[in-house]
């Protein structure tokens, strides 16, 4: 089964709110920023890199929540139809998984599945999708049914499923209520692939930052080079839950090995010889869950440790660390990007480490 099975090609088909904002409202901010080019150069530039779905935009959104003014009602509403598309996609994947695994539903549940499928067929404008209240309730009944719960609990890692499927399905009734306005939690769980270059500027601990978010899909990686100037810190995001996944764009490759190859190329790029490298081992929450049923050794033959979280994590950490040379300032953290508190802590810590390291190299710090 492929990702996004069911034909709802809603991800990546349109601009994300970040991109729309970038091309209108925040262009004004950019202009204001670039008016004083020197000012812009003085900003500590962080470039977010990593493969598709690793969590770059989630971290980018967390910066807006933590260090800017978050999301006003009208900005939050820009995410509504994307969130509803995610909900449709998640339930489609789950329903298809039930069929593929031969899991049968009770008659009443099957009626709700049919109602959901009927609604999907009639959809004309996926761009402006709004799930009606009655369909939201129907989706909730399907999700809560014993057959669906059994499928999710016992097979969730055996088919392609949105990372935030459980979050959205657990909240489907609230998300489809009249007058629903997406919360920050809803926004950071939302999935839309990035197809442009997005920037935000913010201040943290009296330092001025500029963070740049790019798309991680193969076609998007070609654009990365346009952001390579004056980078102070590469924030490379690896999805830890990728260790047993095939690259959806090229089934010959393991997704984490692909991520490792890209990381290696980036850290060996001469343009970044003075940049600090920060590695986020992201989706740590999913990684811990996944290890219980999918041993690391099945995907990494050279791994001879046990299946404990510590041992598996250290192996992956070492693998990436091996690319680092002496001249690099390198820091690595385990992260769960959907957790605002975690990102606050880890980002603060990464910045503090870099500042200390810079002071040390300048001979100003022990
Ligand atoms: N459970 C969990 N989900 C996460 C985590 N980080 C990100 N996600 C979810 O993973 C999905 C993909 O995240 P994105 O931030 O869109 O990934 P990206 O790297 O920007 O992807 P591209 O723009 O395609 O390069 C979103 O639904 C996020 O909510 C995490 O640590 N744990
Ligand atoms: Mg993105």
Closest ligand relative to 224 C-alpha? 1
* Boundary residue ending a domain (181, 214, 243): 181
283 CB within 6 A, ligand 1: yes
If asked whether residues 237 and 105 sit together in one domain, one would say: no
286 CB within 6 A, ligand 1: yes
* Boundary residue ending a domain (125, 158, 181): 181
Question: And the tokens for 126?
Answer: 């996926």
In a domain, 224, yes or no: yes
In a domain, 261, yes or no: yes
If asked whether residues 206 and 311 sit together in one domain, one would say: yes
In a domain, 343, yes or no: yes
pLDDT tens, per residue, the chain with 366 residues: 333 333 343 344 466 777 766 665 455 444 544 445 556 667 899 999 999 999 999 999 999 999 998 999 999 999 999 999 999 999 999 999 999 999 999 999 999 999 999 999 988 776 789 999 999 999 999 999 999 999 999 999 999 999 999 999 999 999 999 999 999 999 999 999 999 999 999 998 888 999 999 999 999 999 999 999 999 999 999 999 999 998 888 888 899 999 999 999 999 999 998 899 999 999 999 999 999 989 999 999 999 999 899 999 999 999 999 988 876 789 999 999 999 999 999 999 999 888 887 777 777 655
Residue of 13, 55, 344 best suited for mutating to test ligand 1, as the one with most atoms within 8 Å of CB = 55
C-alpha–C-alpha distance, residues 335 and 53, integer Å: 14
Longest CA span, the chain: 73
* Boundary residue ending a domain (181, 214, 234): 181
If asked whether residues 218 and 351 sit together in one domain, one would say: yes
Centre of ligand 2 to C-alpha 344, Å, is 19
338 CB within 6 A, ligand 1: yes
In a domain, 317, yes or no: yes
- Return the CATH number at 174: 1.10.400.10
Contact 268, 324 (CB under 8 A): no
Centre of ligand 1 to C-alpha 237, Å, is 10
The residues, ordered by sequence, that sit 6+ positions from 79 with a Cβ below 8 Å of its Cβ are 17, 71, 182, 186, 187, 190
C-alpha–C-alpha distance, residues 24 and 38, integer Å: 23
Residue 332: give the domain boundaries. Answer: 44-71+194-361
Domains: count for the chain: 2
Question: And the tokens for 273?
Answer: 């010889």
- Return the CATH number at 281: 3.40.50.300
């Amino acid at each position: 089964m492929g990702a996004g099975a069911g034909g709802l090609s809603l991800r990546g088909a349109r601009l994300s709110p970040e991109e729309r904002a970038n091309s209108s409202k925040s262009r004004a901010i950019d202009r204001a920023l670039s008016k004083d080019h020197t000012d812009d150069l003085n900003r500590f530039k962080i470039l977010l890199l990593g493969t598709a779905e690793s969590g770059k935009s989630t971290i980018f959104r967390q910066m807006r929540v933590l260090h800017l003014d978050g999301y006003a009602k009208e900005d939050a509403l820009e995410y509504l139809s994307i969130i509803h598309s995610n909900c449709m996609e998640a339930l489609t994947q789950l329903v298809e998984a039930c069929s593929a695994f031969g899991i049968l539903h009770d008659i009443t549940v099957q009626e709700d599945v049919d109602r959901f499928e009927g609604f999907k067929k009639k959809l004309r404008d996926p761009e402006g999708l709004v799930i009606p209240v009655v369909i939201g309730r129907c989706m909730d009944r399907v999700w809560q049914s014993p057959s669906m719960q059994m499928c999710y609990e016992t097979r969730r890692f055996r088919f392609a499923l949105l990372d935030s499927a459980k979050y959205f399905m657990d909240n489907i009734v609230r998300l489809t209520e009249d007058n629903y306005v997406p919360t920050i939690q809803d926004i950071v769980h939302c999935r839309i692939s990035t197809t442009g270059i997005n920037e935000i500027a913010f201040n943290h601990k009296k330092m001025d930052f500029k963070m740049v978010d790019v798309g991680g899909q193969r076609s998007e990686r070609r654009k990365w080079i346009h952001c390579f100037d004056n980078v102070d810190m590469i924030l490379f995001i690896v999805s830890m839950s990728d260790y047993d996944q095939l690259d959806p764009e090229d089934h010959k490759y393991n997704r984490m090995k692909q991520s490792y190859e890209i990381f290696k190329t980036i850290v060996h790029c001469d343009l970044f010889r003075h940049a600090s490298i920060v590695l986020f081992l992201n989706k740590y929450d999913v990684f811990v869950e996944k290890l219980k049923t999918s041993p690391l050794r099945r995907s990494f033959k050279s791994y001879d440790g046990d299946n404990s979280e510590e041992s598996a994590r250290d192996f992956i950490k070492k693998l990436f660390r091996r690319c680092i040379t002496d001249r690099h300032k390198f820091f690595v953290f385990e992260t769960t990007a959907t957790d605002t508190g975690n990102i606050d802590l880890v980002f603060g810590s990464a910045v503090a480490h870099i500042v200390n390291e810079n002071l040390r190299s300048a001979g100003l710090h022990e």
